[in-house]
A and B are shown apart, each in its own frame.
Chain A
């Protein structure tokens, strides 16, 4: 077996700009093709839009992350995996917080229009509603399901994803077998809900039916020191992205603002080509 290692180096600002320009051109062409084919879910603006099929794009809450994704956001009717770097229990990495912000956007809890319901499948019994309320999630539009075993957990997840009245489903899933994963993906497609699966980083070697797979890496000490209005930094690695370019990463700062409406995620570096090496066998 011969191993080739190809190292890509960033030459400078001009190279980054050119690369950005190229990627935008590719994105634009891809949207044109999708529009002609009448499929996919692409939007022209960063905040979200509507395609020919009526599928909406859900903003991640961070403009920088939206730009990394095809269609400038997460497509409805898909699954998104949030892999939490750290220990096996994905503790305290910030992945669930980012996923909850996406869930809030998907359900429209931050808008004045008709809001959808968020279903949280919490088999661990650790979900804390006051924390969710602090992120701006409307508890009146929240259903918490606490399954007793894995079979019930998978069934509840499937049922919730299949329901058109549900905007997003947030779940902590340690292991998903291929068949269940595929069933969940089809269920999400049926209802146009966004399935947000929080999983340990060890799951990155497993096959996935999710459209987007993100690895959340906490970055240690915050830049902004404060008493309570602290912020935390995480690095988001785009491990897999259907229709997009994977291998890119982005540093973001999560504003832990107590005002529900202004909970924000700010990009620190616009685009970081972290995965500078690739290998082929």
Chain B
């Protein structure tokens, strides 16, 4: 039996990325955090204390492996086993084992990416005990988890490596570059203790039940969930907290356990409300085998918000309406998916499709509090109520031309007085109609129907987006057809084509 107290403190740290090349989905901080939490939970098979480091740069997992490596055959064998397990998930990692959190973070974040034929591979480096200072000596100052401003300042002073920093007098470093730099240096070198904050010490609100006999009948499964949720709600209410996310895990050996979760718009400790949301999920789940154990956990909680009762409220009070609305959002989000129940925010972007953004109401970021209120260009100029997700190319009918090629005006009309047009191509020269309010109109085809422009307002030139690599140069016009319909079309300067983008419905 090893003597744990005399063992050196050892920390394993790794950052994870997708192993396959080209798999780079759009970033979603909420989903990223959930994925990292799932991975952290999975890593508890290697260490009981797993932390998530989100201070600077990429998100990392920290494992306290003090006194645990011998269970896996040594530190190198343990690192190899973690790497092999991650590879099965299609992930690659940069892994480092060192005496301190700071040193492990520094080494892992400065490891080069190893590319193989099948993509990126997991690499690891072990700093032997007692050699932390030597390992840090040649690492760049960025490895100290410093802010960008501090790193820039150090670079301006010609300091690029941690070894250079260590040779400078400490007192002047603190006064000139801030106390945080000294703290990070001491933490990395092990001169100051840095606690590893577990992402969950122990689940605070968790209810488990293992029935004597495996549950097979649906009614019994539902009753078991109801009982567990009721107990969880009671526990939450007793602590003055509400669940923002409840995760359920149903063990059904020999199959993989079934995991599903419900989210709430506001913290809730109401058993009826949580059960209602859970019922929506249970309807969609089919259990492949009888259940041997059910676990219900409030994985994300927040303090309950107490509001004073209204004594003289007529009919439904404000609190009641607010609660009803939160319930509606929860029901919609849990059935349709959180990405389909949205709040809209205006953005300071001139490009119409980027002038707003949708955020999920449940589980979204709470950045609204500290964010400067954006004033969209849409508040300054008229904007349609409907915008097509992708602009539609207008197939134009060119105005009739005379024999010498000039545009005919007032001629070429049918017996009904409607100008005749010849079917044109998608790519046409800009029609000079918009410079003349009462000039000749043009016609276009959309969804097999012919539209003739009777009047127009514009142009509103939008020239933006060069910094995104796709410069936008559009001249927008609000046009009214002869039938009175109002459309928002634009002429793309580079393509010389007309697009329908919005509808004043």
Co-assembled chains A and B: yes
Determine the chain B residues whose CB is within 8 A of the CB of A226 once the complex forms.
457
Chain A positions 7-51 with a Cβ under 8 Å from a chain B Cβ: none
Residue pair B481, A128 in contact (C-beta under 8 Å): no
Residue pair B346, A139 in contact (C-beta under 8 Å): yes
Q: A133-B379, A145-B340, A221-B454 are in contact. Are A152 and B335 (CB under 8 A)?
A: yes
B97 interfacial by beta-carbon distance below 8 Å: no
**Cβ contact of A198, chosen from B321, B377, B382, B505, cutoff 8 A:** B505
Per the CB 8 Å criterion, the residue count for chain A at the interface is: 66
B387 interfacial by beta-carbon distance below 8 Å: yes
B53 interfacial by beta-carbon distance below 8 Å: no
Rounded to whole angstroms, the CA-CA distance of A148 and B505 in the bound complex is 22
Q: A84-B505, A129-B344, A130-B356 are in contact. Are A234 and B386 (CB under 8 A)?
A: no
B127 interfacial by beta-carbon distance below 8 Å: no
Residue pair A221, B480 in contact (C-beta under 8 Å): yes
B87 interfacial by beta-carbon distance below 8 Å: no
Residue pair B340, A92 in contact (C-beta under 8 Å): no
Tell me which of B329, B340, B449 has the highest count of chain A C-beta atoms within 10 A of its own C-beta. Answer: B340
Residue of A nearest to B376 (CB): A130
Determine the chain A residues whose CB is within 8 A of the CB of B315 once the complex forms.
54
Determine the chain A residues whose CB is within 8 A of the CB of B483 once the complex forms.
86, 218, 220
Determine the chain A residues whose CB is within 8 A of the CB of B385 once the complex forms.
96-97, 100, 127-128, 131-132, 135
Interface residues on B, range: 35 or more
A4 interfacial by beta-carbon distance below 8 Å: no
A268 interfacial by beta-carbon distance below 8 Å: no
Residue pair A164, B344 in contact (C-beta under 8 Å): no
A269 interfacial by beta-carbon distance below 8 Å: no
Chain B positions 465-505 with a Cβ under 8 Å from a chain A Cβ: 478, 480-487, 502-505
Q: A127-B385, A128-B384, A129-B346 are in contact. Are A92 and B376 (CB under 8 A)?
A: no
A146 interfacial by beta-carbon distance below 8 Å: yes
A39 to chain B, nearest CB (A): 17
Determine the chain B residues whose CB is within 8 A of the CB of A221 once the complex forms.
454-455, 480, 484
Residue pair B346, A230 in contact (C-beta under 8 Å): no
Residue pair A144, B322 in contact (C-beta under 8 Å): no
Instruction: Determine, out of A154-162, A174-182, A205-213, A271-279, the stretch whose residues face the partner at the interface.
Output: A154-162
Residue pair A146, B504 in contact (C-beta under 8 Å): no
Residue of A nearest to B324 (CB): A165
Determine the chain B residues whose CB is within 8 A of the CB of A164 once the complex forms.
316, 320-321, 324
A89 to chain B, nearest CB (A): 7
A242 interfacial by beta-carbon distance below 8 Å: no
**Cβ contact of A218, chosen from B324, B379, B484, cutoff 8 A:** B484
Residue of A nearest to B339 (CB): A146
Instruction: Give A201-244 as 1s and 0s: 1 = Cβ < 8 Å from B's Cβ atoms.
Output: 00000000000000001111110011110101110000000000
A153 to chain B, nearest CB (A): 10
A91 interfacial by beta-carbon distance below 8 Å: yes
Rounded to whole angstroms, the CA-CA distance of A127 and B344 in the bound complex is 11
Residue pair B382, A134 in contact (C-beta under 8 Å): yes
Determine the chain B residues whose CB is within 8 A of the CB of A142 once the complex forms.
343-344
Q: A164-B316, A221-B454, A232-B486 are in contact. Are A129 and B335 (CB under 8 A)?
A: no
B383 interfacial by beta-carbon distance below 8 Å: yes
* Additional pairs, 20, CB under 8 Å, beyond known A92-B505, A232-B504: A54-B314, A92-B481, A92-B504, A97-B504, A114-B318, A126-B388, A128-B378, A128-B383, A129-B356, A131-B387, A133-B378, A133-B379, A139-B344, A148-B336, A155-B335, A156-B332, A163-B325, A220-B454, A232-B480, A232-B484
Q: Which 8 pairs show the lowest CB-CB distances between chains A and B?
A: A130-B378, A218-B484, A165-B325, A92-B485, A96-B505, A129-B344, A128-B387, A165-B321
Residues of B bordering A, CB below 8 Å: 314-316, 318, 320-322, 324-325, 327-329, 331-332, 335-336, 340-346, 352, 355-356, 358, 361, 376-389, 437, 447, 449, 454-455, 457, 478, 480-487, 502-505
Can you report 30 A-B residue pairs in the complex whose CB atoms are below 8 A from each other? Answer: A92-B487, A92-B503, A93-B485, A94-B486, A96-B505, A100-B385, A124-B386, A127-B385, A127-B386, A128-B384, A129-B356, A130-B346, A131-B387, A142-B344, A143-B342, A144-B342, A144-B343, A144-B344, A146-B340, A159-B331, A159-B332, A160-B332, A163-B328, A218-B484, A221-B480, A228-B382, A228-B457, A230-B457, A258-B379, A258-B380
